[in-house]
Structure 1
Amino acid sequence: MRHSSFVLILFGILFLTACGSQAVEYEESTYSHFEDNKMIGNVWDVSTGRVEVDISEWEKRDRKGPNGTDEGYLYIAKVGEETTIKHEDGTEASIEDLKRGQKVLVTPPRGGSFEGTPEEIILLEMTYEEKYARLLSHVDGYNLVVMYEEGSTLPAELQESLYEEILDITDEEVVATWRPYDEEYVVDYKEELGIPEFPIMLVFDKEKLVYKTNDVEELYEFFEY
């Protein structure tokens, strides 16, 4: 009797293990759409003769699991005379055209080092979602963005207490970020969003900007309804 019970338990363990292994085997990486021979990333910073490219997603293309891991990877592209820079449509570009956040294809892909002199850097067209990824909500509710001029001091009502007040008056899922306005970013949010002055409070859902205001009381009214 004990022998039979042991066999049944062992079979159960092996069955669950096999199922678990099978699930892992077929679980694809979030970044599996990246190709080995196409190192695509986003410009992190630009300086004289040097472009730092965030290749984190490309680097994780073979990782298993839906979310990958949190670490980031930068590739240092040393731009020399032999480096061609152009737009995706083939028109000529220069290092001055590269802005933070710009999606680029760097050729050839990195070898054993995270720096090198590429033959070519191509500025790729970006979708709306890619341009606004840092602002759009990644939860079912809203992303509240407090945008301000870098170096300025925010009034007390626009600091962390603002987010606490919002959570007290709404049942919606809300996250909040404080972000300085970046003049060197690939998207001029000030111009595209029609921002009259800073600081400003911007409310995004998963698809678009749904509300903006410079008035804290108006923001509270938005979340109360």
Structure 2
Amino acid sequence: MGRNVVSLTILIMSTLLITACQDTKDTNEEPQGQYEDDKMIGLVREVDTENSVISVDISRWEKRDRGNVTTDEGYAISAELTDETTLQYEDTTEASLHDIKEGQKVLINPPKGDGFKGVAGEFILLDMTYEEKYRGLLSHIEDTLNIVVMYEEGETPPPQMDEQLMEKIEQETVMTWRPYQKDYVVDYKEELNIEKFPVILVFNSEELVFKTTKVEKLYEFF
């Protein structure tokens, strides 16, 4: 069996700070230069519609001055939206609390350290590129395919789709598992024409290259 890297995709940040174990460098990360001190940009992690509070991962913004070499810790804030908050899309179209989806890229003003005290004055839903929308599915390792097992939220993949799926694949690959989230910023079921779950998706660094619900078909592909 070839060298296979197995990683579990964690979709929800459970703590505000995750202690770093070591320095890492990822050449496929977004350039830190796009993050500015006065523009706090992050990704929505959780939407509490009852209390109008949005949890936002601002790790990349927090580490904007560190260059390409960053540590593994993550940073998040909770931003409350009030009647005084300007809530809109990047093109200035008015948005509502129910328009905010997990994974959405957002801009929050004022930024942390410049008057932010837990309440957002502006909460802007930013346009996202294809790469940003599919970051969790695309392969981030050169010349290595990413095998994604996507399943219904609340369920678990069958045994034949767990780690043993890799046993008959000689090619070096990366494998992840993630539940299908109806409220995610991208409806992968619709965009990828998925008819039923669980499904096996194979991505290179740019696009989906193979899709099947049968393990045997995956082995034939490789």
TM-score, normalised by the number of residues in structure 2 = 0.81
1:115: how far off? 5.2
Within-5 A mapping of 1:177-192: 177-192=176-191
What residue number does 1:38 align with? 39
1:43: how far off? 0.5
- Paired amino acid for 2:160: E
Within-5 A mapping of 1:7-156: 30-47=31-48, 48=50, 49-64=52-67, 66-111=68-113, 116-140=118-142, 141-156=144-159
* Number of positions where the alignment pairs a residue of Structure 1 with one of Structure 2: 190
Unmatched segments (≥5 aa) in structure 2: 1-29
In terms of Rg, which structure is larger?
1
1:33: how far off? 2.7
1:155: how far off? 2.0
Deviates more, 1:110-119 or 1:127-136: 110-119
What RMSD in Å do the two structures reach over aligned CA positions?
1.7
Change in CA separation of 1:201 and 1:55 when aligned onto 2, cut-off 3 Å: same
- Paired amino acid for 1:219: L
- Paired amino acid for 1:161: Q
TM-score, normalised by the number of residues in structure 1 = 0.80
Unmatched segments (≥5 aa) in structure 1: 1-28
Residues 147 and 200 of structure 1 are in contact (CA less than 8 Å); yes or no, is this contact kept in structure 2?
A: yes
- Paired amino acid for 1:179: R
- Identical counterparts, % of pairs: 57
